[in-house]
Amino acid sequence: MKFIPSLLFLLSINMLHAQNSSLNLIPQPVEVKQNTGSFTLTKSVTVGFNTPEGLDIAQMLVQKINVATGFGIKAVQGKKATIQLNINAVPDQQLGKEGYTLASTSKGVTITANQTAGLFYGMQTFLQLLPKEIESKNIAKVKWVIPAVKITDYPRFGWRGLMFDVSRHFFTKEDVKSYIDEIARMKFNTFHWHLTDDEGWRIEIKSLPKLTEVGAWRVQRYGRFGDRDFPKPGEKATDGGFYTQDDIREVIKYAAERNITIVPEIDVPGHSMAAIASYPELSCKKDTSTRVSPGSPFSEWFGNGTFKMNIENALNPSDENVYMFLDKVFTEVAALFPGQYIHVGGDECYKGYWAADEGCQALMKKLGIRHVEDLQGYFMNRVEAILKAKGKKLIGWDEILDGGISPEATVMSWRGIKGGIEAARLGHDVVMTPTTFAYLDYTQGERTVDPPIYAGLRLQKCYSFEPVPDGVEAKYILGGQGNLWTEQVPTLRYAQYMTFPRAWALSEVYWSPKESKNWNNFTKRVENQFERSDIEEINYSKAIYDAIVKANLKDGKLKITIESELPDLEIYYTIDDAMPDKFTTKYSQPVELPHGPVTLRVITYRDGKPIGHLITLKREELEKRAGN
């Protein structure tokens, strides 16, 4: 009879889908009961909070409501407002730190939580229940009606993050705040701020001024990252920027008001070209001609996953001055960021310059190390000691396991989930962020439509992610995050395009019960969110509407299979150099292409109207696709 509780839970989840069919909440709450009736927002509405801690959330809610409605509502302390925000006097154990309940009737709305984080997330759900015009920057003339519901909600994971790389392209503090706003709406609570790399050092370190005087700037280049010209002798570095410590404090405060903890990343020992350009003595070769990379091809990657750096970008692990440098950096970083973690990178560190360095060889002999790769373990343990002395915990990419690290270190698994599984089995806390599910810089649709990159990640694949692998104790999996690397992302508008809707999928992966996942239900909510984003003027990708073209080549016959992520799309195609529309051939089964210079053109329709991009693929591209 042990199956009965599971069966009852699954039945309750199915009921949740049925009850929630007309609600468009992302992420999906734990439990929703939709009742008869509705609540209407009017000028006479009041917003109340029962404890002083609720003031900031109440004011945030009032400001949001007033912009779109023009009502001029004010927040007042008390217990009898039409929209009431309450902190529990006795904590509800089920809700934890971030959970909430939301009850709406014809008389009003009550949001209850143990802490302000729960009130904030309850407010986000309340706003999603309102008409999409609540996202307007101007007064909208609509009826502000929400359904009568009772919601109980709390997160599955404590770490729900997004990483934003501001080194490859610099984003202003206002850009960063805007990005934080959008991820907070989807109940993410961690902002991983990638502040340093080969292409720019973005945080002011007052004791080391050259890091921003030199390291924050590079020569201006255009075109694809990795193909750009190297800096020329005497060429001025004018492209870049950095955050002052006051900027950092401002962003930290802004994020904290939205229940987001910022985890700063100082990427070492590799990915340090901007630091070495500023202080060449920190490297093995001490090459004073090293410049901040503008996106030049400074490395060679081989098919087996190994690589070679043609310009040194790793700190020298045998030089005590490097650890003095890092102590200064982390002293100032630790003083700025109140969170418990500092991310130290540890990824993709090329050891070739170490292997050729006399000091590194002497250190290896002293330590009894036979392999140069093991020097990274030594380096990381030194860095961890520095962080511990400042009351911080080390977190790094899964390469920190390679040379050995203390059990107290937290591992971010990015090379698939293998590193996370290994780390969890060794007793490390783990954040799951594998390329295969969570890399938001990957192409999200047809690779001939969007600017190309070396890998793809569709929305449905994001949504299918399960952060707790089989055979791993769930207690070691803190949660997960999505990562937006910005080599090919020059503006905030494009950062939004790459982030959404895939971050919406990940928000549900990290917040909602895994048993509640339902792809078809999720896509309906995504399309509703598209409309809300249009009103808010937030960019997003519509790749979900595009056809998925696959090719198979066997015995000289090229067969084409065309799919869609959405079940209600119709697919039309041509192979006769005509433009496809709803009067051309409708796809129903795999197509064998005739021999010759054939071009396949594909487009999707819904309700008789084109909805996806036109995809045009020549035979050569299809044959290449068949070989991959």
CA distances from 551 to 79, 191, 411, 446, 459 (A): 63, 39, 38, 13, 21
Cα distance between residue 487 and residue 483, in whole Å: 12
**Is residue 436 packed enough to be buried (19+ CB in 10 Å), middle (13-18) or exposed (0-12)?**
middle
**Is residue 243 packed enough to be buried (19+ CB in 10 Å), middle (13-18) or exposed (0-12)?**
buried
Cα distance between residue 322 and residue 384, in whole Å: 14
Cα distance between residue 278 and residue 544, in whole Å: 44
Cα distance between residue 201 and residue 210, in whole Å: 10
Give the Cα-Cα-Cα angle 454, 455, 458 (nearest 5 degrees).
150
Q: Which of 197, 239, 267, 508 is catalytic?
A: 197
Query: What is the DSSP code (8-state) at residue 443?
Result: B
618: helix, coil or strand? strand
Q: Which of 194, 271, 343, 428 is catalytic?
A: 271
Is 613 considered catalytic here? no
Cα distance between residue 379 and residue 98, in whole Å: 37
Tokens standing for residue 368? 């009894």
Tokens standing for residue 500? 């959404």
Cα distance between residue 84 and residue 264, in whole Å: 36
Asked if 327 and 344 touch (Cβ cutoff 8 Å), the reply is: no
Count CB atoms within 10 A of the CB of residue 418.
Answer: 12
Tokens standing for residue 160? 């729900």
For 342-362, b/e burial (b = at least 16 CB within 10 A) is bbbbbbbbbbebbeebeebbe
Question: What is the DSSP pairing of strand 109-113 with strand 100-104?
Answer: antiparallel
**What is the DSSP track for 114-138?**
SSHHHHHHHHHHHHHHS-GGGG-SS
Cα distance between residue 321 and residue 317, in whole Å: 9
Cα distance between residue 194 and residue 263, in whole Å: 9
Is 576 considered catalytic here? no
**Is residue 8 packed enough to be buried (19+ CB in 10 Å), middle (13-18) or exposed (0-12)?**
exposed
Strand partners, 585: 573
**What Rg, from alpha-carbon coordinates, does the chain have?**
26
Q: Which of 56, 348, 374, 422 is catalytic?
A: 348
Tokens standing for residue 458? 């569709």
Is 197 considered catalytic here? yes
Tokens standing for residue 523? 């896509």
Tokens standing for residue 126? 């309340």
Segments of 231-376 assigned E as strands:
239-240, 261-268, 299-301, 307-309, 341-345
Count CB atoms within 10 A of the CB of residue 265.
Answer: 26
- Catalytic positions, please? 197, 271, 348
